[in-house]
Amino acid sequence: MHRIKVKVVEEALDANNTIAQANRADFDRAGVRVVNFMSAPGAGKTSLLERALADLPGVRVGVLEGDVQGSLDADRLASLDLAVAQLNTDPGFGGECHLDANMVRSALPALPLAELDLLVIENVGNLVCPAEFRVGEDRRVMVSAVTEGEDKPLKYPLMFRTCDLVLVNKIDLLPHLDFDLERFLYYLDQVHPDVPRMLLSARSGEGIEPWRQWLSSVAATEGALA
Amino acid sequence: MHRIKVKVVEEALDANNTIAQANRADFDRAGVRVVNFMSAPGAGKTSLLERALADLPGVRVGVLEGDVQGSLDADRLASLDLAVAQLNTDPGFGGECHLDANMVRSALPALPLAELDLLVIENVGNLVCPAEFRVGEDRRVMVSAVTEGEDKPLKYPLMFRTCDLVLVNKIDLLPHLDFDLERFLYYLDQVHPDVPRMLLSARSGEGIEPWRQWLSSVAATEGALA
């Protein structure tokens, strides 16, 4: 029985990868770089985008907001000079806990791809399934908030392993937590040795500048990125 | 295409409910009350269990730990006088982001059901899919940490709506956050009016006593609970 189940999952992933490649071809044709942005619920993805995207001179940015329901995050970003589209996984997709390539593909007509340099896809808050579905992105970024505890790399290894950058958020709270930063970084290196990481706080603004520069440099990269 | 997909999901849920009822019959026969314990990653489920279960006189407790990988949480609880079993969703189940009734059923032989009054099933950290799969529980409890922001009831409504109790954790951090507690409770009442809620902190111990008493009273209830 489990063997059958695994087979079905593999077929689903293959279909996903096929559509992800089609997305990728569209992104390349439009000359837009794409970041798949992931984290647990409440880790601070939208706040980190608000901080970074409010001042990204010369970069035309779009955001695709993925949520089970509602448009809270898209509404928050609407005050910035961005192209924002909301993709809900509840109606039509059945309340999915992640974005997949087909959902992203269905939302692309809502975005002016050819007029963008950078598209950030804010995934559904979840540390498991989003890591399993490529959507055609150039880069994968995840946020891990220090309020979530040191053990998260060991408990959700695929997410930490498949990322190109780990943002360690809410460091303004470190004085008030028992969080052992050294241990977290040790676990992170066990799961994904030497993955680039940035310590920052969307609330205080500390460490935001390197994150902003990272987004700018991804947007400015010519040619193959993978 | 979506219509076909929805149909498959409904059939899967039906199979899950059939197995959940079989679990429930086994729990009733053994005279054990079962709590399905859910939250986002790092909200403090294990810490809240450590606090409450360390001193629950007269109640024989078992814990089933659900994780994608590893046994970190089970190891933490092993020092307490409990029956603890670890259920990993990665090998065999393909890295599932939730527990379902069949996974729980496969783990039941590892627990001395007939010798327990209360079984707590600590689900995988995720605010979406765990809410969609009953596992045979009497009660559903979720943890929402104040560090996750006020908007979580609106973004993950099914989870908040299907719970019998909401634990609002990490209130020791309120002085250091911009979290608006009144607004969170307003959103909570929009999604699930008057659901019982407790404000507490696993770290400081504040508010733990009502949580402990709630677990005791569930364990002591005779007859039908649903």
Give the separation between CA B191 and CA B201, rounded to whole angstroms. 23
Q: Which helix (H) or strand (E) holds B213?
A: helix B208-220
Distances (CA, A) of B71 to B63, B68, B88, B89: 12, 9, 8, 12
Q: Which residues of B touch A128 (CB under 8 A)?
A: 68, 95-97, 124, 126
- Please state the separation of Cα A221 from the chain's center in Å: 18
Task: List the single residue in B2, B6, B41 with the smallest CB-CB distance to A127.
Answer: B41
Task: List the single residue in A6, A70, A145 with the smallest CB-CB distance to B155.
Answer: A70
First to last CA, chain A: 37
pLDDT digits (tens, 9 = 90+) for B201-213: 999 999 999 999 9
At B138 the three-state DSSP class reads coil
Cα distance from B31 to chain A (closest Cα, Å)?
Answer: 31
**What pLDDT, on a 0 to 100 scale, did the predictor assign at position A10?**
64
**What pLDDT, on a 0 to 100 scale, did the predictor assign at position B78?**
87
Q: Which residues of B touch A92 (CB under 8 A)?
A: 2
Closest CA to B114 of B13, B32, B218, B196: B32
Average pLDDT over chain B reads 92
Band (pLDDT 50/70/90 cuts) for residue B14 is confident
Band (pLDDT 50/70/90 cuts) for residue B87 is very high
**What pLDDT, on a 0 to 100 scale, did the predictor assign at position B10?**
64
Q: Which residue has the higher pLDDT, A3 or A167?
A: A167
Sign of CA dihedral B103, B109, B114, B120: negative
Mean pLDDT on B162-187: 98
- Please write down the HEC assignment for all residues of chain A: CHHHHHHHHHHHHHHHHHHHHHHHHHHHHHCCEEEEEEECCCCCHHHHHHHHHCCCCCCCEEEEEEECCCCHHHHHHCCCCCEEEEEECCCCCCCCCCCCHHHHHHHHHHCCHHHCCEEEEECCCCCCHHHHCCCCCCEEEEEEEHHHCCCHHHHCHHHHHCCCEEEEECHHHHHHCCCCHHHHHHHHHHHCCCCCEEECCCCCCCCHHHHHHHHHHHHHCCCCCC
B127, B143, B179, B201: best mutation site toward chain A, by most A Cβ within 10 Å?
B127
Task: List the single residue in A72, A129, A152 with the smallest CB-CB distance to B97.
Answer: A129
Mean pLDDT on A103-127: 96
**What pLDDT, on a 0 to 100 scale, did the predictor assign at position A2?**
44
* Amino acid occupying residue B170: K
Q: Is the per-residue pLDDT at B2 higher than 50? A: no
Q: Do B126 and A127 touch (CB under 8 A)?
A: yes
pTM of the shown model: 0.92
B147, B169, B180: best mutation site toward chain A, by most A Cβ within 10 Å?
B147
Q: Do B95 and A132 touch (CB under 8 A)?
A: yes
Looking at chain B, which residue has its C-alpha nearest residue A41?
Answer: B40
**What pLDDT, on a 0 to 100 scale, did the predictor assign at position A8?**
59
Mean pLDDT on B155-168: 96
**% of chain B surpassing 90 pLDDT:** 86
Closest CA to A46 of A93, A78, A87, A21: A78
Q: Do A125 and B155 touch (CB under 8 A)?
A: yes
Q: Do A41 and B42 touch (CB under 8 A)?
A: no
**What pLDDT, on a 0 to 100 scale, did the predictor assign at position B223?**
65
**What pLDDT, on a 0 to 100 scale, did the predictor assign at position A72?**
93
The residue assigned the tokens 């009822």 is B21
Task: List the single residue in A6, A147, A148 with the smallest CB-CB distance to B94.
Answer: A6
The complex's ipTM works out to: 0.89
Task: List the single residue in B70, B95, B172 with the smallest CB-CB distance to A155.
Answer: B70
Q: Which residues of A touch B94 (CB under 8 A)?
A: 5-6, 9
**What pLDDT, on a 0 to 100 scale, did the predictor assign at position A121?**
98
Band (pLDDT 50/70/90 cuts) for residue B6 is low
Give the separation between CA B120 and CA B137, rounded to whole angstroms. 9
Q: Which of A3-12, A47-56, B169-178, B215-224 has the lowest mean pLDDT?
A: A3-12
**What pLDDT, on a 0 to 100 scale, did the predictor assign at position B224?**
60
Looking at chain A, which residue has its C-alpha nearest residue B124?
Answer: A128
Residues belonging to chain B with any Cβ–Cβ distance to chain A shorter than 8 Å = 2, 5-6, 9, 40-42, 67-70, 72, 92-97, 124-129, 132, 145, 147-149, 151-152, 154-158, 170, 172-173, 176-178, 203
Give the separation between CA A46 and CA A122, rounded to whole angstroms. 8
Q: Which of A59-63, A89-93, A204-208, B117-121 has the lowest mean pLDDT?
A: A89-93
Q: Which residue has the higher pLDDT, A79 or A222?
A: A79
Q: Which residues of A touch B129 (CB under 8 A)?
A: 97, 129
Q: Is the per-residue pLDDT at B1 higher than 50? A: no
**% of chain B surpassing 70 pLDDT:** 92
